[in-house]
Amino acid sequence: MLSATAHSQLCRLRPVPALKPRPLTAAAAAASSPLADQSPPSTPPPRPSPPRSQILTLRRSLLARETTAVQLAESYLARLRLVEPRLNSFLHVSDSVLREAQAVDDRIGRGEDVGPLAGVLVGVKDNICTADMPSTGGSRILEDYRPPFDATAVRKVRELGGIVVGKTNLDEFGMGSTTEGSAYKVTANPWDISRVPGGSSGGSAAAVSARQCMVALGSDTGGSVRQPSSFCGVVGLKPTYGRVSRYGLMAYASSLDVIGCFGSSVADTAILLNAISGHDRYDATSSKREVPDFISQFTASNTLEDKPLEGMRVGLIRETLGSGVDSGVVSVINAAASHLEELGCIVKEVSLPSFSLGLPAYYILASSESSSNLSRYDGVRYGSQAVADELSSLYGVSRAEGFGSEVKRRILMGTYALSAGYYDAYYKRAQQVRTIIQKSFKAALDENDVLISPAAPSAAYKIGEKKNDPLAMYAGDIMTVNVNLAGLPALVLPSGFVDGGPSGLPVGLQMIGAAFDEEKLLKVGHIFEQTLRGHRFVPPIIEDDNTC
Amino acid sequence: MALLLCRGIRMYPPLLNYAAFLRRKSHVFYCAMSTTEAQTATQGSQSTPIKISPHRKEKGLDDVLKDYEAIIGIETHVQLSTLTKAFCSCPYHYGSQPNTNICPVCMGLPGALPVLNSKVIECAVKLGLALNCKLNIKSKFDRKQYFYPDLPKGYQISQFDVPVAYGGHIDLDLPVEFGGGHRRFGITRVHMEEDAGKLLHSGNGRVPLLEIVSEPDMRNGIEAAEYAAELQRLVRYLGVGNGNMQEGSLRCDVNISVRPIGQVKFGTKVEIKNLNSFSSVNRAIDFEIVRQALLLSEGQDDQIVQETRLWEEGSQKTVTMRKKEGLSDYRYFPEPDLPGVILTKDYVDSICNCLPELPEVKRRRYEKMGLSMQDILFLANDVNVAEFFDATIAKGADVKLAANWIMGDIAAYMKNEKLSIDDIKLTPQELAELIASIKGGTISGKIGKEILFELMAKGGTVKGMIEEKDLVQIADPAEIEKMVDKVLLDNPKQLEQYRGGKTKLQGYFAGQVMKASKGKANPGLLNKILLEKLNAKS
């Protein structure tokens, strides 16, 4: 149950408490999507086998010369093009994928060493800078903007042989939970194209889910990697704040932003995290902590003991299963808790009384920082510039035309919260709440190895359902924002389904670890994933595609 | 009248020599007064003319000013020239898109992040310690937000409520020509920030700054100018910046208000910008004091508004730049892109131990050595001159003689040739040698001077030059006697006149002997022998 304050908080922020998505009829699906006639069959065959690492499989077959990077890239690009008209995951697709794949093949042909990501096709959220492609942040104000540099995470991916397949759609500057906030297009959920993929990294989640790329980079300020992972049935990892350099990530809320990873398996997610982690002299907030080899601790599924997680202490956060949370989601999380118990974990409920305070604190802090971070988009040096007679109207018109409504709303809220006379009541108080939340998580993680909760109060909802109700959309972030406020790592794992769409809608389990303990999260997540029985990991949109 | 003007400005602190103060004021205020006259003469063209009633004119400016006092505080921005970049670390591998030769960080490009160069903190700690400040062991950066074309990010990284250093003071000695006297002015704080006023296309990135805010302890132009000069001295002694005012490496914004003496409440504060030299600081302030005092005395208090005024060097007056409409809300909040600055005791100690001897300590040491304040200020004002002097006396040179040489012939030569003391070829070692050679009688003072100019222009050693030119003084009485005898023999007519009572001719004989010796004869010995000979047969 939610505490009294939590409950009132939720009610205040979300006037419409019914979060359970309406059952989707065929007619509704057809009505809500012009592409409904291209929908996959409504009763696909189940795919019960646990996901294999696409990256390791590729590497094995490349090194054994069973396949080439070019062949693989061609098959992914073919699928990308096939489903893209229905999904709209990408804002830009690279035109050099095959050329880069050929370079990988050439190196292998010459017997040279290739990096651990050789030939791996990586989607990159469009708020992460890439030197050879546009980077718009999903905003009109950066239309056609081409950065002169690669973000550190992108540079590292490329240095290890990865190929950036394209730039994925997002809510403008990462502000939103549905990807409907993009200035360019609305991305659909591969499990039901009448539904949102979540956000703000909805394009990356959808692209990985529909196997348009192998892995993808996203960013997570308040849940923007984890919630879309849950909605799209993929693995999503929000690393500890400071684990991955933010250099080249267009800042939304600098003290909360992290670049995160999407994969179709825990192993792929871990390999991508390995690639992008570590200190960066261009980001003063990046950590100098050593980066462990995240997958070296993985146990092959065929060698698992009876109770591979014996003694692991798991805390189920009580406040995340109360009213306002879809009953189907609660069932999935309870089943996941039972599954963890079967694996040997000791699962106990833990209470984080400050949990419900996270949402208002998050929206004040994130808006405040965004109001500052977005002031550089003034139309003076880059991006779209309005025609104006004098300076202040140049600023005004460029910004009025360049920003979408959600971005403007947050700039206004943030400017208000930082204004003289309001600072103490809003910004300062929210910082105090943040400290309380950090302490309560620390205490809970001293008692437990990991904490679990849903990644979102519901599965994916319909496109347009919350578009005009920002408070309802904000309320959907209740499960994730606390983790950003505390700066902790969290992993979202596909763990079950609720009714809806042609074949059910995925629900993710959120697993929260201590700061810089991604290794444990990934190890536990890998075992959880490999022992999950009867779970479908491939969405209906590509189910008849035998190549994935 | 100029002499009387100064009485209106109360002295602070009151420990100085009053007569000296008057002398100083008479000098300084001469400028201020003449500009005032210029202003009243052109008041027709001013939007808010200062009307001086006939009665007031009769009474004179001095009578007006004596009833008012000025409260002056200064904000100084010091550019740290030892670094080119404060908050960026430009990657050197850019793509091929436009603007690629400019660092993403200084351009404020999307995704760029500031990174603090640790040298900035080192400079801040050095200056903080030199200003006798307390250090905040934990400080942080904040964002100061406003839109301006020169501000690519829409905010300036600065320090708001927790500056790196606070609560210090600066000691200085006013120049003797302005009356002298020791002053101590409070330092409110020292903080780090990026330079928001630099144009972007320099490509040098955001230059790091230290901002030093003084307490409102100054009372007139010369005090303010000397405060700024002492700050420049510290910056140069510490090596944290070049402190060049013309280039804007050291910028002073002056806050000034005037109130009737005895009134507790401060007058309306006016800020003056565009001060490119210490003398403009001095003159702008004194102009502003007169302007405000006149308005107050005329009951036109409402004409003094909170505003920023510019000092116009050409017309020697301040003009309105922009009026402030209430307080700007900069919406400060902690900079999330930079971690807090934590100073460990070891770090501070290591910097403390490496601080050079600071100007104030040097001046007090020179004072103990018996030098006059004029000498002290000349030597200590320039860190290079001070080092040269210290090195010279370290080689055993006489303190007063070394000071005289440096302040006299060496300074004159530097001035003529437009050289700094580091540019001249003379070494402290050789100056000490030169002084010793003259004192020991090896060479005469006159020869010494000649050698000095050669040493400054060409270098070399004193010994080498003496040997090379055969300049050793002739101090052998027998040799001088020979020369004297020859001169007397060659000038029988003059000798006769001398002995006839025309004793003035002694100088003529001395000159002839010196000429014969090619200037090398010891003058004392020469005169003694000459006199003996001249008077011997009389």
Angstroms from A272 CA to nearest CA on chain B: 20
Residue B331, amino acid: R
Higher model confidence: residue B64 or residue A437? A437
Count CA atoms within 13 Å of residue B6 on its CB side: 23
The two structure tokens encoding residue B169: 């003071």
* Residue B197 pLDDT level (bands cut at 50, 70, 90): low
Domain edges within chain A: 4-14+69-542
Best CA proximity match to B330, nearest among B188, B148, B484: B148
Note the Cα A380 to chain centre separation in Å.
32
pLDDT at position B102: 60
Q: Over the range B462-472, which residues count as b (16 or more CB within 10 Å of their CB) and which as e?
A: beebbeeeebe
Identify whether the C-beta of residue A482 lies closer than 8 Å to the C-beta of residue A433: no
B31 has pLDDT over 60: no
B68 has pLDDT over 90: yes
Identify whether the C-beta of residue A539 lies closer than 8 Å to the C-beta of residue A46: no
Q: At what angle do helices A54-63 and A266-276 cross, to 10 degrees?
A: 80
Q: Write the pLDDT tens digit of every residue in B278-303.
A: 999 999 999 999 999 999 999 998 99
Lowest mean pLDDT among A28-32, B69-73, B394-398: A28-32
Q: Is B478 on the interface with A (CB under 8 A)?
A: no
Could you give the dihedral angle defined by the CA atoms of residues B304, B310, B312 and B317, in that order, rounded to the nearest 10 degrees? 10
ipTM above 0.90, yes or no: no
The two structure tokens encoding residue B534: 């001249």
Burial class (CB in 10 A: 0-12, 13-18, 19+), B75: middle
H/E stretch holding A38 reads: none
Residues of A with a catalytic annotation lie at: 125, 200, 224
Q: Which chain A residues touch B104 with a CB distance below 8 Å?
A: 147-149
Q: Which chain B residues touch A135 with a CB distance below 8 Å?
A: 110-111
- Average pLDDT on B251-268 reads 94
Residue A43, amino acid: T
> What DSSP state is assigned to residue A515?
T
Identify whether the C-beta of residue A21 lies closer than 8 Å to the C-beta of residue A458: yes
In the stretch 112-141 of chain B, residues with CB closer than 8 A to chain A read 112-116
Identity of the highest mean pLDDT range in A511-515, B116-120, B496-500, B532-536: A511-515
Q: Which chain B residues touch A146 with a CB distance below 8 Å?
A: 95, 97
A21 has pLDDT over 60: no
Q: Write the pLDDT tens digit of every residue in B132-191.
A: 999 999 999 999 998 877 788 999 999 999 999 999 999 999 998 888 999 999 999 999
Select the residue from A382, A399, A432 to test the B interface by mutation, using most B Cβ atoms within 10 A: A382
Instruction: Give dist(CA B93, CA B79) in Å, integer.
Output: 28
Instruction: State residue B311 phi and psi, 5-degree precision.
Output: -85, 125
A437 has pLDDT over 90: yes
A280 has pLDDT over 90: yes
* Residue B202 pLDDT level (bands cut at 50, 70, 90): very low
List of residues 6+ apart from B304 with CB closer than 8 A = B258, B267, B268, B270, B292, B295, B296
H/E stretch holding B7 reads: none
The 3-state DSSP class for residue A405 equals: helix
Partner residue facing A255 (CB), from B147, B331, B336: B336
> What DSSP state is assigned to residue A265?
S
Lowest mean pLDDT among A429-433, B164-168, B467-471: B467-471
pLDDT at position B40: 29
Q: Write the pLDDT tens digit of every residue in B211-246.
A: 999 999 999 999 999 999 999 999 999 999 999 998
Identify whether the C-beta of residue B296 lies closer than 8 Å to the C-beta of residue B256: no
Q: Rounded to the nearest 5 degrees, what angle is found at the Cα of B59, between the Cα atoms of B53 and B65?
A: 95
Identity of the highest mean pLDDT range in A13-27, A40-54, A147-161, B506-520: A147-161
Strands B165-173 and B182-194: antiparallel
Identify whether the C-beta of residue B99 lies closer than 8 Å to the C-beta of residue B107: yes
* Residue B88 pLDDT level (bands cut at 50, 70, 90): low
Count CA atoms within 13 Å of residue B135 on its CB side: 22
Sign of CA dihedral A286, A287, A290, A292: negative
The two structure tokens encoding residue A317: 């956060």
pLDDT at position B155: 93
In the stretch 138-157 of chain B, residues with CB closer than 8 A to chain A read 143, 145, 147, 149, 152-155
Average pLDDT of every residue of chain B: 83
B59 has pLDDT over 90: no
Identify whether the C-beta of residue A396 lies closer than 8 Å to the C-beta of residue A441: no
B6 has pLDDT over 90: no
Q: At what angle do helices B492-499 and B506-516 cross, to 10 degrees?
A: 150
Residue B456, amino acid: M
The 3-state DSSP class for residue B428 equals: helix
Best CA proximity match to A21, nearest among A321, A510, A464: A464
Instruction: Give dist(CA A195, CA A187) in Å, integer.
Output: 9
Q: How many beta carbons lie within 10 A of that of residue B37, not counting itself?
A: 11
Domains of chain B: 2-334 (no CATH), 357-469 (no CATH), 477-536 (1.10.10.410)
Partner residue facing B147 (CB), from A142, A250, A378: A378
Instruction: Give dist(CA A520, CA A512) in Å, integer.
Output: 10
The 3-state DSSP class for residue A287 equals: coil
- Tokens 């208002």, residue? A360
Instruction: Give dist(CA A491, CA A505) in Å, integer.
Output: 19
The two structure tokens encoding residue A454: 């849903």
Average pLDDT of every residue of chain A: 90
List of residues 6+ apart from A163 with CB closer than 8 A = A69, A73, A94, A97, A100, A101, A104, A119, A120, A121, A122
* Residue A427 pLDDT level (bands cut at 50, 70, 90): very high
- Average pLDDT on B503-522 reads 87
Instruction: Give dist(CA A335, CA B24) in Å, integer.
Output: 90
Best CA proximity match to B424, nearest among B456, B395, B448, B450: B456
Q: Is A416 on the interface with B (CB under 8 A)?
A: no
Q: Over the range A101-126, which residues count as b (16 or more CB within 10 Å of their CB) and which as e?
A: bbbbbebbeeeeebbebbbbbbbbbb
Q: At what angle do helices B445-458 and B462-469 cross, to 10 degrees?
A: 110
Rg (CA), chain A: 22
- What are the CA-CA distances from residue A184 to residues A88, A316, A513 (Å)? 10, 39, 36
- Start-to-end CA distance of chain B, whole Å, equals 63
Beta bridge partners of A493: A509
List of residues 6+ apart from A47 with CB closer than 8 A = A536, A537, A538, A543
A197 has pLDDT over 80: yes
Instruction: Give dist(CA A409, CA A367) in Å, integer.
Output: 9
- Average pLDDT on A335-364 reads 96
Select the residue from B109, B335, B342 to test the A interface by mutation, using most A Cβ atoms within 10 A: B109
In the stretch 121-160 of chain A, residues with CB closer than 8 A to chain B read 128-129, 131-132, 135, 137, 142, 145-149, 151
* Residue B475 pLDDT level (bands cut at 50, 70, 90): confident
List of residues 6+ apart from A102 with CB closer than 8 A = A69, A70
H/E stretch holding B102 reads: none
pLDDT at position A422: 94
Q: Write the pLDDT tens digit of every residue in B332-388.
A: 999 999 999 999 999 999 999 999 999 999 999 999 999 999 999 999 999 999 999
Quote the strand ranges of B196-285, DSSP E: 208-214, 250-260, 270-275
Contact at CB, B115 and A284, closer than 8 angstroms: yes
Instruction: Give dist(CA A234, CA A535) in Å, integer.
Output: 12
CATH topology of domain A4-14+69-542: Amidase signature (AS) enzymes (3.90.1300)
**pTM of the predicted protein model:** 0.82
Instruction: State residue B144 phi and psi, 5-degree precision.
Output: -110, 120
* Residue A225 pLDDT level (bands cut at 50, 70, 90): very high
Contact at CB, B154 and A419, closer than 8 angstroms: no
pLDDT at position B30: 31
Strands A121-125 and A163-168: parallel
Identify whether the C-beta of residue B514 lies closer than 8 Å to the C-beta of residue B521: yes
Instruction: Give dist(CA A536, CA A529) in Å, integer.
Output: 11
B34 has pLDDT over 60: no
- Average pLDDT on B464-484 reads 83
Sheet (strand B155-158) strand order:
B155-158, B142-145, B333-334
Instruction: Give dist(CA B341, CA B128) in Å, integer.
Output: 14
pLDDT at position B206: 62
The two structure tokens encoding residue A72: 């693989």
Strands A490-498 and A505-512: antiparallel
The two structure tokens encoding residue B495: 């000798």
The 3-state DSSP class for residue B288 equals: helix
Beta bridge partners of A249: A128
Q: Write the pLDDT tens digit of every residue in A259-273.
A: 999 999 999 999 999
H/E stretch holding A443 reads: helix A429-447
